[in-house]
Amino acid sequence: MLRPETDIEAGRVAILDSIDNIVRQRGAVDISMTELAASVGMSPSNLQRFFESKEALLEAVAERWFADKIQIMEEVCGSDLPLREKMHAFFARRFASMVQQYEAEPELYKSYLEIGNLHFEVVRGYVDLGDHYLSMLVAEAMEEGHFPNLSIDEAVSLINQMIHTYVNPDAIIAIGTAKLNVEKLGKIIDTMFIGLGQSLQKGDSDRPHMKIVS
């Protein structure tokens, strides 16, 4: 007899919580389903009722990690915000969520990033999903005349590169939140909206403009 779906769901959440604890204690070690079953006090066959395979388990770990980021992207893209504010929220809210997650438990955050790097095949779909949502925003921006002279793919790639330190979860560790903050992110997004894809005026680099006096 099948148990109700909710019991299975509750069991999965409990196992994922246990994995948090295992990662807290041991870091990003690679453990087998047999070891995991022992760690959570289950028989291997019982564990399999919740997660069929290690792949299914890793997918569930990734799903949990990305859940709030996906929610943010869906909310922002579906909102009525003006476009620039949408683009800002799209990046700033996810960045803020990563910072919060990092600051709550830096070691756990680092270990999960290591696990993600070791199993990038599980992460790749989420990276592609982020590009998909960004493409929608870029298409919307192009309808309004932004990012001229570029294809959607080119604009997405250039934006991803310019904003990389605010999207890449490793950057919070490598660069740190003393240097990365939402205010600077906003200035980078403004810079993109004003300049990305625009043609430089001839002589822009030589012509004397206003002189800075203070």
Give the residues lining the site for a second copy (CB under 8 A).
82-85, 142-146, 148, 150, 154, 157-158, 161-162, 164-166, 171, 175, 179-180, 184, 187-188, 190-198, 200, 204-212
Nearer to a second copy, 18 or 165 (CB): 165
CA 76 to mean position of chain CA atoms: 14
Q: How far is the CB of 110 from a second copy (least distance, A)?
A: 13
Q: DSSP 3-state assignment of 212?
A: coil
Nearer to a second copy, 2 or 210 (CB): 210
> How far is Cα 127 from Cα 79, in angstroms, rounded to an integer?
21
Nearer to a second copy, 104 or 200 (CB): 200
**CA end-to-end span of the chain:** 78
Nearer to a second copy, 2 or 212 (CB): 212
Q: How far is the CB of 97 from a second copy (least distance, A)?
A: 19
Q: How far is the CB of 156 from a second copy (least distance, A)?
A: 11
Nearer to a second copy, 18 or 157 (CB): 157
DSSP state of 107: H
Nearer to a second copy, 60 or 99 (CB): 99
> How far is Cα 145 from Cα 125, in angstroms, rounded to an integer?
30
> How far is Cα 141 from Cα 159, in angstroms, rounded to an integer?
12
20 membership: H or E segment, kind and range: helix 5-26
Collect all residues with Cβ–Cβ distance below 8 Å to 14 and sequence separation of at least 6. 40
Q: DSSP 3-state assignment of 133?
A: helix
Q: How many CB atoms lie within 10 A of CB 104?
A: 9
DSSP state of 124: H
* Structure-block tokens of residue 48: 């399999």
Q: How far is the CB of 190 from a second copy (least distance, A)?
A: 5
Q: How far is the CB of 15 from a second copy (least distance, A)?
A: 31
Q: How far is the CB of 123 from a second copy (least distance, A)?
A: 12
